[in-house]
Structure 1
C-alpha cells in the first residue's frame, strides 16, 4: 500500500464521503486513490473555492470538510478559505502535497517549490503535521481527527511529500477511526453554575457558534423555557433556537429596545462565543456582570474584549450540549426558580425593534421579508460580504441551526457561491440561496461551472450596484472617494447563461419575490440579477 492509498483508506474509515480540490501535479495520487475507494471528489475551478466549499459542507452538516491541494500555488490559493475556517471554527482537513523530501529547503528550483509551505499552512490552522514516512500517515490522521472532534473544531493541515505519497508502507496498515468524546464539565464548577442560576431573578442566554457545533439548540431551548429567559445569539449562533420562538431575540442585542430590556437582567448564561466585533456591534453589547460561561476552549475565557467581559464568572470548560444537559438535570431538582421575563415583554421588545427598523428602512426590511417568505424553514442561506448580507446577519429570521452561512470570521468576499455549492452537496434536498454582490461574485463566478457539472439547483441573488458597496459607503462617509471607484462589470445574465445556468434580470426590488419563487420551483441553477443600491443597515451608518 502506498502513502496515497493509506490516506484514502484512512479517510474512508473515518467516514469521509466528499473531498474538494484540484488534481495538482504532486497530489494526483491521492485524488486517484480516493476515487477508487468510492469517495466523491469534487474538482473545482479555484482552490480558494475548494476551501470555502469544504467549510460550508462542515457548517451545514457538522462533519469534517476535506480539501485537496497541490504543492505551492495550489496550497497557497486555499489560504483565505482556510483562514475563514479557522476564524469561524470549522473542522477542515487540508491535504497538501510537498516537493520530494530530499529537495526540501535546498532552493534548487523544484516545480511548485515555495520558501516555507509548512509555515504558510501553520499560520491559518490549529496545527500542520508533516509526514516523515508513509507509515506515519494513519497515526497523523488519527491525531488530527481526534483534535477536531475532542477540542474546538478548527482546520488542520497534513503536508505529505510527493515521494512519500508513492512510497510503500513499511508496516501493516492499521487505522483506528477517531471518535467524538464530549468534554464533561467539572463537578464542583457545575454545582457553582447551578447555584448561580438558581439565585438569579432575571437571567438571559447568549449563544454563539459553539452552541451550534455540538447541536445544543434543544438544550438551550429547554433551559430558556425553564428560566423564562430571552435568548440572544451571535451571527454564527443564529438558528440555535428558532428566531420566531417567543423567547428569541436573535442577534438584536445592541438594538435600543433590547438594551433597555437587558438592564433588567442580573445573569447571563454564555454559551460558546468569543463576542466578536461584528456580532456585538463593535463590542457595544452590554450583558449583566454575573455570568455562567460555557466553552470548549478554555483559552477563550482570557480573550474577551474588556468592554464586554463579565465581573463575576463561573467558567465551565466543556462541550456545550453536555454541560447544558447536566445543568438542566440538576436545576430541575432545585426548589426555587428565577422569576424570569414575561414572554409578552420579550415579544414587545422585539416588535418595537423591528417596527422602528421598518419605519426607517422600509425597502430593505421588505426585501428580507420577501426572501424569508419564499423559502422553506430549513433553507440554507450562503451570504457573501455584500450590503444585503449585512442586513441578513442581524434582521433575517433563521429557524434552523446550520442554515445561515456567513464568512464573518475573516470578512472575506467571494464566499457566497462556493459556500452555496458546498451546502447543496451536503444537503441536496434543502433549498440553498446565495446572496452575492457584483464585486464578490466575480471572485468566484467560475464555480458556476462546478454547480452546472454536478446539477446543483442553487439560486443566486446577485445584487448589482457596480461597486464594492460597503467599502464605498465607508470611504464616502470619510470623504475619501475619488470618482474612479465604480466597477466595470460584465453582462451577468450572458455570463451565467454561458456556463449553462438559467439567468434572469429583474427590474426592481419589488420583482425579487416572484423571481425567487419561480427559480425555486424550477429547481435549476439560477442567477437572478437585482440592479439595486441598498442602504447600509443602521449599525454601519
Structure 2
C-alpha cells in the first residue's frame, strides 16, 4: 500500500496554500484526484457542467481574492471549461484548473483513447497564464509553487495543470508538503514615482481612472484624489474603490461621451491605475478608441499591459497599492486648494451621465439594495447588467460584477453566484440573468439546491435575446434566432427543488426578495420586463 499517491499529495498541498473549496465533476480519469478528499478540509461542490465549475470558481475568486480551484476530466471536461477560463483571463481572475490527461505513454499518439486530445495544452494555453503537463511526481511542489506565485505577485488569471492518469496514482510519500514562500508583488521604481509626483503636482486638470487592478488600494486612492483635487472615474471592475457619494467620484461611466471628453481632451494628466483602457470599459457605445491628448501615467502590475492600447507618457510597473502609497508619501497636501470649482465640475459630469439613465432600471436596483441591504449582485449579459455597468454604484469592492464586459459570455450568473455565495456566506447574493442567457446554464440551479447555497436568482424575462434584436433592428437586418421561446423558469426551478415565484411589479419583487432573504435556501424570482416598461438599457 502506498502511503500517499500524487493525487493525495495534491490535495494536501492545496490545503497548505489555504484552498478551502474545489469545484468539479468526477470522472473515470480523475478518480485519483478524489482519493485525497477523504479526511481533507476541502469542501467539494459538484456543478452540472464543467463550464459551471469554471464560473463558480470565478465568482468565488472575485469575492474572496483567492484562486478558485477546479478538478476537471480529460478532453470534454477541458473543452467545456475553456469558456469560463476565457472570461477569467479577460478579467484577471485567479483560477486554478487541475485536470487529468491520458497516460504518459499515450500522450500525443492520436490512438482514439477515451477523452483523448492529442495536445490538450494547445487549447488551454490560449486562456491561461501558465499551462503545464506534470510528467514527474517530484515536480508537483514546484509546479504548484509556480501557480500560486502568479496568483500572489503577478497579474492573475487562470492556471492549468494537467496530470497523466498514471502519474496521479504514483507514490508521492517522499514529497515535502510545506508550501513554498511566495514573492511579493513588484514595487515601483523610485525615479518613476518622482516623475509621477512632478507631473501630478504641475497638473492643472488631472483625472484618475481606477480599474480592476486597483480594487485593493483601500483608502490611498481617495487620499491621493483629495490631495490633488482630482476627479475619479472607475471601470466596472473598479466599482466601490472610491465611495460613490464622494464629491470627487464621477462613477463607472468612462464610455459616456461627457466622461470620454474629459479623459481625452480636458484632462492635462490622466492617471490610469490597473486598467487596460480597453473597448468594453471605454467604448461601450462604439464611439471609437480613446484618444488621450494629455499626459498619461499608467500603473500596472503587468509590464506588457503598460504598452497596450495607449502609449504612456510614464509607465510604472507596480502593484497598485504600493505605487499610489509611494506617490502619496512624496506629494504634499495642498492646503490652499479651492475645491469648489472641481466639485462643481464633478457634479456636472455626474449630471451629464443622467441623460441615459432609465428610471425603471434605477428603481429596480434600488428595490434590491433597499430590501437586502449590503449584498452582492452577479450579472449575466442582460439588459439590467448593461445598465449596471455604467450606473449602478457600490460602497465596497466585489459587490457587483458580471460577464457583460471582457470576454462577454452568456450563462455566467447562475453558477458564478453560487461561487460568490460560498465565498461570502455572510452576504445575500443575487444571480441576475436574462431569460435568454439563463438557458445556457439553468441546470446549475439544481447545483445550488444540492449544496444548499442560498442564492437568490432573478430572471429578467424579455422573451429572447433583446439586445441582439436591437442591434439587428439598427443594422436593418431581419430578426432571426433572437425571438426564442423562454422556458417556464418558475416551474423548472420548482422541479429542481428550488422555491420560485413570479413578480410583475417592483412591489412584488420587494415582497419576493424579503421572502427569499429569510428562506435560507435557493430562491428564484422571474420578473417580466414588460411589467416595468424599462425599454433598452442604453
Alignment TM class, shorter chain as reference: over 0.9
TM-score with structure 2 setting the length:
0.93
Superposition deviation, residue 521 in structure 1: 3.8
**Residue by residue, what CA displacement relative to the aligned partner does 1:465-516 show, whole Å, maximum 9, x if unpaired?**
2211211211122122346632122221111111111111112355333332
Q: Which residue number in structure 1 is paired with residue 346 of structure 2?
A: 346
Superposition deviation, residue 369 in structure 1: 2.9
Which has the larger displacement, 288-297 or 176-185?
Answer: 176-185
Which has the larger displacement, 55-64 or 484-493?
Answer: 484-493
Superposition deviation, residue 178 in structure 1: 4.2
**Residue by residue, what CA displacement relative to the aligned partner does 1:240-266 show, whole Å, maximum 9, x if unpaired?**
212222221112234344456555432
Question: Contact 2:9/2:177 (CA < 8 Å) preserved in 1?
Answer: no
SS in structure 2 at match of 1:236: helix
Q: 1:169 to 1:367 in 2, by over 3 A?
A: closer
Which has the larger displacement, 165-174 or 7-16?
Answer: 165-174
Q: Which residue number in structure 2 is paired with residue 279 of structure 1?
A: 281
Question: Contact 1:233/1:251 (CA < 8 Å) preserved in 2?
Answer: yes
1:520-535 alignment, distance < 5 Å: 520-533=517-530, 534-535=534-535
Question: In the aligned structure 2, how far is the partner of 1:69 from the partner of 1:255?
Answer: 41
Question: Contact 2:59/2:419 (CA < 8 Å) preserved in 1?
Answer: yes
Q: Which residue number in structure 1 is paired with residue 251 of structure 2?
A: 250
SS in structure 2 at match of 1:460: strand
Q: 2:391 aligns with which of 383, 395, 401?
A: 395
Q: Which residue number in structure 1 is paired with residue 270 of structure 2?
A: 268
Q: 1:170 to 1:17 in 2, by over 3 A?
A: closer
Question: Contact 2:436/2:465 (CA < 8 Å) preserved in 1?
Answer: yes
Matched, 1:293 2:298: yes
Superposition deviation, residue 454 in structure 1: 2.1
SS in structure 2 at match of 1:268: strand
Q: Which residue number in structure 1 is paired with residue 145 of structure 2?
A: 142
- How many positions carry a matched residue from both structures? 527
Question: In the aligned structure 1, how far is the partner of 2:480 from the partner of 2:94?
Answer: 43
Question: In the aligned structure 2, how far is the partner of 1:330 from the partner of 1:362?
Answer: 44
Q: 2:37 aligns with which of 17, 21, 34?
A: 34
SS in structure 1 at match of 2:296: strand
Question: Contact 2:12/2:177 (CA < 8 Å) preserved in 1?
Answer: no
Question: In the aligned structure 2, how far is the partner of 1:522 from the partner of 1:107?
Answer: 52
Q: 1:167 aligns with which of 163, 167, 170?
A: 170
Q: Which residue number in structure 1 is paired with residue 235 of structure 2?
A: 234
Q: 1:413 aligns with which of 410, 414, 427?
A: 410
Question: In the aligned structure 1, how far is the partner of 2:482 from the partner of 2:185?
Answer: 50
**Residue by residue, what CA displacement relative to the aligned partner does 1:151-208 show, whole Å, maximum 9, x if unpaired?**
1111111010000000113844344334251211111111111111111122111010
Question: Contact 2:473/2:479 (CA < 8 Å) preserved in 1?
Answer: no
Q: 1:287 to 1:234 in 2, by over 3 A?
A: farther
Q: Which residue number in structure 1 is paired with residue 217 of structure 2?
A: 216
Q: 2:508 aligns with which of 506, 511, 524?
A: 511
Provide structure 2 residue ranges, at least 5 long, that are not aligned to the other structure. Answer: none
Q: 1:335 to 1:430 in 2, by over 3 A?
A: closer
Q: 1:80 to 1:34 in 2, by over 3 A?
A: same
Matched, 1:466 2:467: no
Q: Which residue number in structure 1 is paired with residue 356 of structure 2?
A: 357
Matched, 1:493 2:498: no
Superposition deviation, residue 301 in structure 1: 1.9
Matched, 1:202 2:208: no
Superposition deviation, residue 375 in structure 1: 3.4
Question: In the aligned structure 1, how far is the partner of 2:238 from the partner of 2:163?
Answer: 36
Question: In the aligned structure 2, how far is the partner of 1:537 from the partner of 1:507?
Answer: 19
Matched, 1:101 2:104: yes
Question: In the aligned structure 1, how far is the partner of 2:441 from the partner of 2:142?
Answer: 36
1:74-85 alignment, distance < 5 Å: 74-85=77-88
Q: 1:43 to 1:265 in 2, by over 3 A?
A: same
Matched, 1:332 2:306: no
Question: Contact 1:243/1:250 (CA < 8 Å) preserved in 2?
Answer: yes
Superposition deviation, residue 342 in structure 1: 2.8
SS in structure 2 at match of 1:36: coil
Q: Which residue number in structure 1 is paired with residue 382 of structure 2?
A: 386
Superposition deviation, residue 81 in structure 1: 0.3
Question: In the aligned structure 1, how far is the partner of 2:363 from the partner of 2:175?
Answer: 63
Q: 1:536 to 1:207 in 2, by over 3 A?
A: same
Question: In the aligned structure 1, how far is the partner of 2:102 from the partner of 2:186?
Answer: 39
Q: Which residue number in structure 1 is paired with residue 65 of structure 2?
A: 62
Question: In the aligned structure 1, how far is the partner of 2:356 from the partner of 2:48?
Answer: 41
Matched, 1:7 2:3: no
Q: Which residue number in structure 1 is paired with residue 22 of structure 2?
A: 19
Question: Contact 1:31/1:41 (CA < 8 Å) preserved in 2?
Answer: no
**Residue by residue, what CA displacement relative to the aligned partner does 1:345-365 show, whole Å, maximum 9, x if unpaired?**
3234313432x335xx33333
Question: In the aligned structure 2, how far is the partner of 1:48 from the partner of 1:130?
Answer: 21
Question: Contact 1:384/1:440 (CA < 8 Å) preserved in 2?
Answer: yes
TM-score with structure 1 setting the length:
0.92
Question: Contact 1:24/1:74 (CA < 8 Å) preserved in 2?
Answer: no
Q: 1:170 to 1:506 in 2, by over 3 A?
A: closer
